[in-house]
A and B are shown apart, each in its own frame.
Chain A
Amino acid sequence: MMHLLSTADLNKDDAISLLDLSDEMAGVNERGLRKLPSLRGKTVVNLFFEDSTRTRVSFEIAAKRLSADLINFSAKGSSVSKGESLKDTAQTLAAGGVDVFVIRHSASGAALSLAERGWTDVPVVNAGDGTHEHPTQALLDAMTMRERLHGLGATRGKDLSGVKVAIVGDIAHSRVARSNIQLLKTLGAEVHLIGPATLLPSGFDNTHTDLDEALTKIKPDVVMMLRIQLERMQSAFFPSAGEYSRFWGLTEERFARLSDDVVIMHPGPMNRGLEIASLVADSRNSAIVRQVANGISVRMAVLYNLVSQERQINE
């Protein structure tokens, strides 16, 4: 693995190895001394052209737990606001000696461009590119599902065969959904996409507009709620927050009709009371806080895999 740009680049063995390594990293995170020397002397650059405190901090913790030197580059107040291009910014930073770029950018394809257009030969991790992909989010979601469905400590080498996952909300604009759809399918899961017709992308399988009907029919093992951005109302994707919540929100009533051991997930940040009821988010079925913790483990595994090439887990 030279870069992590898309979950489509991971075959089943790659994905399971990464998840197994993530589980090992989780063990480190639960120790008293939460630190490995693996990336000592290596430099990780967080190249964030778009605000995202959660993802940036998660990568930051992951890098530090591996003893890497970390540089946070944020576009605000930087040369980017003066018109410097992505290419020039990356080349300028790379000139100082960089072992991996973690890039978040509002343009779909920005991570792929950085990795493959000949601008730099530094490994690239896609930390979210526009409405395209967010592969580490999908990996942490898969890690969380493995834990919940197979049990902690019983996950090694396991896939997600036969697991039914319902992803609900703004699929069209969701990089989380795109990365999840591919990774979950690779791992053998059955993925359903549910949302208003205006927010379901064309050409995707298993799409549904009626949430109640879909949940009854599918009987999902996992329900993943996506954040809905209220700005979408201005572009007439849906009429109002109230109507959205009524038809596509995970309300307490809907939650009560799901199976007892259903896993509830959300990539955060949540709009409590809009796409997900507070009581549901805080229920024992919710894995939302665990997702955040697993994010650190997955990002440690990815950085470790990319940077310490001599100790690649795939070998």
Chain B
Amino acid sequence: MSDFVLAKATLPDDRVVDIKVVDGLIAEIGNGLSATEVIDCTGLRALPGFVDLHTHLREPGFEQSETVLTGSQSAAVGGYTAVHAMANTQPVADNAAVVEQVFTLGQKAGYVDVFPIGAVTKNLDGTQLAELGSMHASSAAVKVFSDDGKCVSDPLLMRRAMQYVAAFDGVIAQHAQEPRLTEGAQMNAGEISAKLGLAGWPAVAEESIIARDVLLAKSLDARLHICHLSTAGSVEIIRWAKSQGIKVTAEVTPHHLLLTDDLAESYDPVYKVNPPLRTKVDVQALREALVDGTIDIVATDHAPHPSEAKDCEWAAAAFGMVGLESAASVAQLVLVDSGKSNWARLAEVMSHAPARIAGDETHGREITVGEPANLTLIDPSVSRAIEKQTSSKSQNNPYAGLHLPGAVKHTIFGGYFTVRDFELAEQGRH
């Protein structure tokens, strides 16, 4: 039997309690609890372990960028106990064999639960449905499907996919990008792109797909999830759709909550990402939407790339940035330190809601007796300088050099400390 008490931790609702964990489950919540080991958590915020609905782990195929192991470690450092691995690997996760491989690699690593996301279309080609049912029936039990990196732009395929996966309560996570409107696009279309001579990615290319897809979801009464909302206009469409009772959920990335397109003036591709960094107006709209519930979750779109993919001219560089280890800090900044919302909302957008959308049964639970001990303890008082090098294998880190609030002190994955006193465990849980 392994048991410990997290003493005097502050819950999302501000109650200060002791949390006793026995054999991976929350056994007791109270005051003055005793156990083999008592860990002082005074001043720490106890939150349900974070769940990322949008992670690129790159394995199989791009192990020079990230592996399931290194990505899982980075996730644990960021306070995550579960991540959803995107399908754009090599080979693509468009069949039962690949999703089972990724799932198994996650179990072997033992730092977080790795839930594979299946491709919507075969080889992400956007022409023929992938074997969605087989991926769901596999040991990986896939429920979330996405061609992320590419949009399912064919309306017929999108409609059929949503209808097909609804049968087992699956959901399509759409990367909303009208392909014709974004040919060769390099950054947000606007005054900065006009000045820099970089081809623009207009907001309407995202908004027009979201508008179409919420109408498709309405007509089918099916669920729809929109990846990485980046524009004020997208927020308005989601707000309208929710007011109509359409079953749509939406995510925003930490970088779209913090960074703006003027960073491209350096032509440093560390700021090159898809969808692109937008304007201050967009950032403000996304923040308000996260506070008021129009946007349901924060998802990282953690997208590691090797240095050679970024140490080049802008147009030749890859899209994407890492984000697992700064997401909670950005969420704290936007929700708590801003005075606009609270820790309960942070727990909702970082854990409860993503787990609910994805159907993860052992994550995103309330901190109550009998639940699995997937917990994150944050020291909110810390202001930390972000270093370029994280536990990820890649260093395409746009936050490097910034000061962000809060630090993950402990991450507990099924009762096991994957991070303790800010240090990553040498081994995963086995």
Interface residues of A (CB under 8 A from B): 85-87, 105-110, 112-113, 117, 129-133, 172-173, 175, 178, 201-204, 235
Question: Digit string of B181-203 for contact with A (CB within 8 Å is 1, else 0)?
Answer: 00100100111001111110000
Give Cα A113–Cα B264 distance, bound, in whole angstroms.
Answer: 12
B314 touches A113 (CB 8 A): yes
Chain A residues within 8 Å of B186, by CB: 108
Not counting A107-B314, A109-B198, A172-B194, a sample of 19 additional A-B residue pairs whose C-beta atoms are within 8 angstroms of each other reads A85-B311, A85-B312, A86-B316, A87-B311, A107-B313, A109-B196, A109-B267, A110-B313, A112-B267, A113-B267, A113-B312, A117-B268, A130-B198, A132-B197, A175-B197, A178-B197, A202-B190, A203-B190, A203-B191
Is the beta-carbon distance between B197 and A117 smaller than 8 angstroms?
no
Q: For the complex, is B154 an interface residue (Cβ under 8 Å from A)?
A: no
25 contacts between A and B (CB under 8 A): A85-B308, A85-B311, A86-B316, A87-B311, A87-B312, A105-B313, A107-B315, A108-B314, A109-B197, A109-B198, A109-B267, A109-B314, A113-B314, A117-B268, A130-B197, A130-B198, A131-B198, A132-B196, A132-B198, A133-B197, A173-B197, A202-B191, A202-B194, A203-B190, A235-B183
- Inter-chain contact B197/A86, CB cutoff 8 Å: no
Residues of A within 8 A of B314 (CB): 107-109, 113
Given the complex of chains A and B, what is the CA–CA distance between A86 and B312 in angstroms?
A: 7
- Complex alpha-carbon distance, A112 and B183, angstroms: 24
Q: Which residues of A contact B313 (CB under 8 A)?
A: 86, 105, 107, 109-110, 113
Query: CA separation between A112 and B197, bound complex, in Å?
Result: 13
Within 8 A of A (CB), among B161-198: 183, 186, 189-191, 194-198
For the complex of A and B, list the 6 residue pairs with the smallest distance between their C-beta atoms, beginning with the closest.
Answer: A203-B191, A109-B267, A132-B197, A201-B194, A131-B197, A107-B315
B interface residues (Cβ-Cβ under 8 A, vs A) = 183, 186, 189-191, 194-199, 267-268, 308, 311-316
For B315, the chain A residues whose CB sits under 8 A away are 106-109, 130
B42 smallest CB distance to A (angstroms): 45
DSSP class of A's interface residues: helix, strand, loop or mixed?
loop
A contact residues around B183 at 8 Å (CB) = 235
Bound-state CA distance A235–B313 (Å) is 24
How close is A136's CB to chain B, nearest CB, in angstroms? 16
A113 proximity list for chain B (CB < 8 A): 267, 312-314
CA distance A131 to B184 in the complex (A): 13
Q: How far is the CB of A137 from chain B (nearest CB, A)?
A: 14
List of A residues within 8 angstroms of B196 by Cβ: 108-109, 132
Complex Cα gap A132–B196 (Å): 6
Q: Which A residues are in CB contact (< 8 Å) with B198?
A: 108-109, 130-132
A206 to B198 Cα, complex, angstroms: 21
Return chain A residues, CB-CB under 8 Å to B195.
Answer: 178, 201, 203
In the assembled complex, which residues on chain B have CB atoms less than 8 Å from the CB atom of A204? 194
CA distance A235 to B181 in the complex (A): 10
A235 to B315, CA, bound (A): 19
Q: How far is it, in angstroms, between the C-alpha of A178 and the C-alpha of B196 when the chains are bound?
A: 9
Q: Which residue of A is nearest B308, CB measured?
A: A85
Task: For the complex, give the distance between the alpha carbons of A178 and B314 in Å.
Answer: 18
How many angstroms from the CA of A85 to the CA of B267 in the assembled complex? 16
For A85, list chain B residues within 8 Å (CB). 308, 311-312, 316
> A131 CA to B193 CA in the complex, in Å?
10
Looking at the assembled complex, report how far the CB atom of A128 sits from the nearest CB atom of chain B, in whole angstroms: 10
Considering the chains assembled together, what is the distance between the CA atoms of A204 and B196 in angstroms? 12
CA distance A191 to B311 in the complex (A): 37
CA distance A267 to B312 in the complex (A): 29
Among B197, B308, B311, the residue within 8 A (CB) of A108 is B197
Min CB distance, B376 to chain A, in Å? 37
| Minimum CB–CB distance for B411 against chain A, Å | 36
Known contacts A172-B194, A202-B190, A202-B191; A108 and B267 CB within 8 A of each other: yes
> How far apart are the CA atoms of A202 and B279 in the complex, in Å?
14
Residue of B nearest to A129 (CB): B197
A146 to chain B, nearest CB (A): 26
Q: How far is the CA of A106 from the CA of B197 in the complex (A)?
A: 11
Among residues of B, the one whose C-beta sits closest to the C-beta of A171 is: B194
B92 to A: closest C-beta gap in Å: 24
Across the two chains, which residue of chain B brings its CB closest to A109? B267
Q: What chain B residues lie within 8 Å of A110 (beta carbons)?
A: 313
The chain B residue sitting closest to A130, CB to CB, is: B197
In the complex, which residues of chain B have a beta carbon less than 8 angstroms from the beta carbon of A117?
268, 311
For B267, what are the chain A residues with a Cβ–Cβ distance below 8 Å? 108-109, 112-113
Q: How far in angstroms is the closest Cβ of chain A from B401?
A: 16
CA gap between A87 and B189 in the complex, in Å: 28
Contacts of B316 in A (CB 8 A): 85-86, 107
CB distance from B203 to the nearest CB of A (A): 12
Kindly list chain A residues whose C-beta atoms are within 8 Å of the C-beta of B189: 202
**Chain B's nearest CB lies how many Å from the CB of A88?**
9
Residue of chain B at shortest CB distance from A105: B313
Chain B residue nearest to A119 in the complex (CB)? B311
Q: Which residue of B lies closest to A203 (CB)?
A: B191
Min CB–CB distance B124 → chain A (angstroms)? 24
Most chain B CB inside 10 Å of its own CB: which residue of A107, A109, A173, A175:
A109
Q: B427 to chain A: closest CB distance in Å?
A: 38
Q: Which residues of A contact B312 (CB under 8 A)?
A: 85-87, 113
Nearest CB in chain B to that of A131: its residue: B197
A201 to B192: give the CA distance in the assembly, Å.
Answer: 10
Give the chain B neighbours of A173 by CB distance below 8 A: 197
Residues of A within 8 A of B191 (CB): 202-203
A203 CA to B279 CA, complexed, in Å: 14
Shortest distance between the CB of A304 and any CB in chain B (Å) = 27
Docked pose: A113 CA to B183 CA in angstroms: 24
Cα A235 to Cα B184 with chains together (Å): 12
> What separation, in Å, do the CA atoms of A202 and B194 have in the docked complex?
6
Tell me the complex Cα distance, A203–B312, Å. Answer: 28
Q: Which residues of chain B are near A112, meaning CB under 8 Å?
A: 267
Q: How many Å lie between the Cα of A129 and that of B316 in the bound state?
A: 13
Residue in B183, B190, B314 with the greatest tally of chain A CB atoms within 10 Å: B314
Chain A nearest CB from B201 CB (Å) reads 13
B204 CB, min distance to chain A CBs, angstroms: 13
Check if A203 sits within 8 Å of B194, measured CB to CB. yes
Bound: A129/B197 CA distance, A: 9
Which residue of chain B has the shortest Cβ distance to A182 in the bound complex?
B195
